[in-house]
Structure 1
Amino acid sequence: MSIAKADFIEGIAKGMAVLESFDTERQRLNATLAAERAGLTRAAARRHLLTLAHLGYLETDGSYFWMAPKVLRFSGSYLASSRLPRALQPTLNRLAAQTGESFSAVVLDGEEVVIVARSGSYGTPTRVLAYGLHLGARLPAHATSTGRVLLAAMAPTQFTQWLKGRHLARLTPRTVTQARGLRQLIARARKDDYCFASEEHELGVQALAVPLRDMQGHTVAALNVVLSGTRYQEETLQREMLPLLFEAAREVRSLL
């Protein structure tokens, strides 16, 4: 969304940039690190950090800052009020109970995908992955099945713009990091209407994803199943899991 310059509140934008500087790689920041990550001067970053701490969104030891539980109000409000997670939760739970595997619904946000709904893993312990599979977890779009399905929903020119100048991080030895290779994978996902990713985000983890479309045919999210431990052939998952994912996508279409 674009707005008029007169309507843009720069202070809010800077404060949000400071909050977004915290992630799994940098859970604690001082003013210097926050300034580098948010693109601010050190003095400005320090003021924003102190203000956010005063408001209760950050905690501090006087030098370093880290997120406080109060930031969960934002995600909690989204999950409580957004129609998408509430509409998908029963289907995710049913799939998990039926198969004993873990299912998620994911949306695209810039260069990352965000888990907005997920099932439990019935009958087997849920393994915590390096980047997490909890609600709100953010994963790199280029290395995930859901990310590729959502990128495949873009028009080719839009995807070219998304890819332009973007660094594709190598997360495992199997991660595709070349633009040409990713283009081929996105083209295949667009043609097949699903995506299989094997050990590109984390070794020992495979995932299969399909798009979730509304009644107008717009892709609004992606649905995937994540499997860890045993390594599966794509053909096996096509036979055993893909029909369930496609049927679930048809089932929820009228709800999106």
Structure 2
Amino acid sequence: MIAPADYIAGIAKGLAVLESFDTERQRLNATLAAQRAGLTRAAARRHLLTLADLGYLETDGSYFWLSPKVLRFSGSYLASARLPRVLQPTLNRLAAQTPESFSAVVLDGDEVVIVARSGSHRMLAYGLHLGARLPAHATSTGRVLLAAKSRADFNAWMKGRELPRLTSRTVIDTRKFKALIDQVRVADYCVASEEHELGVHALAVPLRNMQGHTVAAINVVATPQTFDPSQWQRDMLPSLLDAAREVRPLL
């Protein structure tokens, strides 16, 4: 935490308004933005108008939506951050060897964020683009990253949390979910089948630096046409583990 004198509330409120836009609500008016950002309607309106004036939002006079200018933030991160640049060659190599798609992911609160990805001979799974945010509880990478937390930190993450059901196969019972995370800790990998999206199967392993800290996760995503559990255990898991060892000195 920083000192109160160093905290600029206006920036925090403006970012809260920007973060109010998502796939569920792509267009917001002042009332909706206020509800989502925890602001008064008047404050939300001022922030919306300011962000529109700066070019980060577009508006028809009543509703606001994100403009392409917001991509400057993600573009700058992907161009300058070390992690995506380090991992991209390894993902490219994996994708060149199989028809599957591969992603590198970091944890951000309740979600995981794709920071690098690669695919070879077929279209990458829908929604798995750079910068995509996926619910941590229902994804292989999210579970791997949650399992990397200390038990105290994981319990704090779980405290009072309801796990949204995304498909009929999503684990939402908190006891079952905690047991699942315990299993991931022991196995050091995770398979999630059709829990985030029907027809999508994923296998993930953690990426650790030389100090043993998990800094990210990589996964492979398959469709029902290419998913073969026995083949994944025999071939794909060793490939991901080899990739994790390969990049460890670079993390």
Asked if Structure 1 and Structure 2 have the same fold, meaning a TM-score greater than 0.5 normalized by the shorter chain, the answer is: yes
CA distance in 2, matches of 1:234, 1:5: 53
Q: Distance in 2 between matches of 1:136 and 1:125?
A: 17
Structure 2 residue 177 is matched with structure 1 residue 182? yes
Q: What is the CA deviation profile of residues 51-103 of structure 1, one whole-angstrom value per residue up to 9, with x for unaligned ones?
A: 00000000000011000111011101101110000000000011001012100
SS, match of residue 117 in structure 1: strand
- Equivalent residue, structure 2, for 1:60: 59
The correspondence of residues 1-256 of structure 1 with structure 2, limited to 5 A, is: 2-119=1-118, 121-128=119-126, 132-230=127-225, 232-256=227-251
Letter in 2 for 1:102: S
Letter in 1 for 2:66: M
The separation in 1 between residues aligned to 2:145 and 2:185, in whole angstroms, is: 9
How far residue 219 of structure 1 moved from its aligned partner, in angstroms, is: 0.2
Q: Distance in 1 between matches of 2:124 and 2:228?
A: 22
Query: Secondary structure at 1:166's aligned position in 2?
Result: coil
**Quick check: 1:204–1:231 contact (8 Å CA) kept in 2?**
no
Which residues of structure 2 form unaligned runs of 5+?
Answer: none
Q: Secondary structure of the equivalent of 1:174?
A: coil
Please provide the CA RMSD for this pair: 1.0
* Preserved contact between residue 138 and residue 171 of structure 2 (Cα < 8 Å): yes
* TM-score, normalising length: structure 1: 0.96
1:196·1:234 contact (CA, 8 Å) conserved in 2?
Answer: no
Question: After superposition, what is the alpha-carbon deviation per residue over 1:10-49, rounded to whole angstroms, capped at 9, x for unaligned?
Answer: 1100000000000111111111111111011111101000
TM-score, normalisation: structure 2: 0.98
Query: Retained in 1: the 8 A contact 2:205–2:219?
Result: yes
Q: What amino acid is aligned across from residue 207 of structure 1 in structure 2?
A: A
Amino acid at match of 1:199: E
Identity of aligned residues (%): 75
Question: How far did 1:234 drift?
Answer: 3.5
2-side partners of 1:13 and 1:227: how far apart? 39
Question: Structure 1: which 5+ residue stretches go unaligned?
Answer: none
SS at match of 2:181: helix
The Cα of 1:235 is off from its aligned counterpart by: 3.5
For residues 229 and 171 of structure 2, the distance between their equivalents in structure 1, rounded to whole angstroms, comes to: 17
The amino acid across from 1:114 in the alignment is V
Residues 190 and 172 of structure 1, relative CA distance in 2, 3 Å threshold:
same
**d(CA) in 2 for partners of 1:41, 1:234:** 51
1:123 Cα deviation (Å)? 1.6
Distance in 2 (CA, whole Å) between partners of 1:64 and 1:212 is 42
Quote the Cα distance in structure 1 between the aligned partners of 2:102 and 2:227. 16
Q: Tell me, in whole angstroms, the C-alpha distance in 2 between the residues paired with 1:166 and 1:238.
A: 32
- Counterpart Cα distance in 2 of 1:14 and 1:84: 29
Q: Is the 8 A contact 2:125 2:221 kept in 1?
A: no
Distance 2:189 2:229 in 1: 11
Question: Structure 2 counterpart of 1:205, which letter?
Answer: V
Kindly provide the CA deviation profile for residues 136-185 of structure 1, in whole angstroms up to 9, marking residues without a partner as x.
Answer: 00000000000000000001111000000112110000000111111011
Cα offset, 1:6, TM superposition: 1.0
Which deviates more, 167-176 or 228-237? 228-237
